[in-house]
Amino acid sequence: MRGSIVKNKRKGGITYSAVADYPTEKGKRRQVKKTFASKKEAEDELIRMLAEAQAQEDGGYVDIGKVTVGEYLDRYLEAVAPGLEAGTLDNKKTSLLHWRKLIGSVPLAKLTRLDVQRAANGLPAELAPTTKRSVYAVFRCALRQAVKWDMLPRDPSEGVKSPSSKKDKRGLHAWTEEETARFLEQTKAGTRLHPLFALALATGMRQGELLGLKWQDVDLVKGTVSVCRALVRIRGQKSVLRPPKTTGSRRQIPLDTATTTLLKAHRKRQMEERLAIGPKWEDNGLVFCTRQGTPLHNTQVELSMHTWSAKAGVPRIRFHDLRHTHATLLLKAWVQVKVVSERLGHSTIRTTLDIYAHVLPDMQKEAVEAMERIFNRPRALLPSVTAREGRGQGSQ
With cut-offs at 50, 70 and 90, classify the pLDDT of residue 52: low
Q: For 285-293, which contacts have Cβ atoms below 8 Å and span 24 or more sequence positions?
A: 285/214, 285/215, 285/216, 286/211, 286/212, 286/213, 286/214, 286/215, 287/210, 287/213, 287/214, 287/215, 287/217, 287/218, 287/263, 288/193, 288/195, 288/196, 288/210, 288/211, 288/213
With cut-offs at 50, 70 and 90, classify the pLDDT of residue 107: very high
Q: Secondary structure of the chain: what % helix, strand, coil (to 5)?
A: 55, 10, 30
CA 14 to chain centre: 30
| Percent with pLDDT over 90 in the chain | 52
CA gap 349, 321 in Å, rounded: 19
The kind and range of the H/E element at 386 are helix 385-394
**Of 18, 15, 14, the residue nearest 5 (C-alpha):** 18
In degrees, to the nearest 5, what angle opens at C-alpha 147 toward C-alphas 141 and 151?
Answer: 120
3-state DSSP call for residue 226? strand
What would the mean pLDDT of 273-282 be, rounded to a whole number? 93
Of 50-54, 272-276, 287-291, least confident by mean pLDDT is 50-54
The pTM assigned to this predicted structure is: 0.65
With cut-offs at 50, 70 and 90, classify the pLDDT of residue 56: low
> Are 139 and 96 in contact, with CB atoms under 8 Å apart?
yes
With cut-offs at 50, 70 and 90, classify the pLDDT of residue 395: very low
> Are 175 and 314 in contact, with CB atoms under 8 Å apart?
yes
Phi/psi at 37 (nearest 5 deg)? -75, -30
CA gap 72, 146 in Å, rounded: 8
Give residue-wise pLDDT tens across range 319-370.
Answer: 999 999 999 999 988 899 999 999 999 988 988 888 888 776 666 677 777 7
> Are 62 and 52 in contact, with CB atoms under 8 Å apart?
no
pLDDT for 378: 54
> Are 253 and 205 in contact, with CB atoms under 8 Å apart?
yes
CB atoms < 10 A from the CB of 273, how many? 15
Task: Please determine, for residue 43, whether its predicted confidence score (pLDDT) is greater than 90.
Answer: no
**Of 190, 203, 96, 182, the residue nearest 143 (C-alpha):** 96
pLDDT for 44: 77
CA gap 284, 295 in Å, rounded: 8
User: Torsion-angle region of residue 67: left (phi > 0), alpha (psi -120 to 50) or beta?
Assistant: beta
Task: Please determine, for residue 259, whether its predicted confidence score (pLDDT) is greater than 90.
Answer: yes
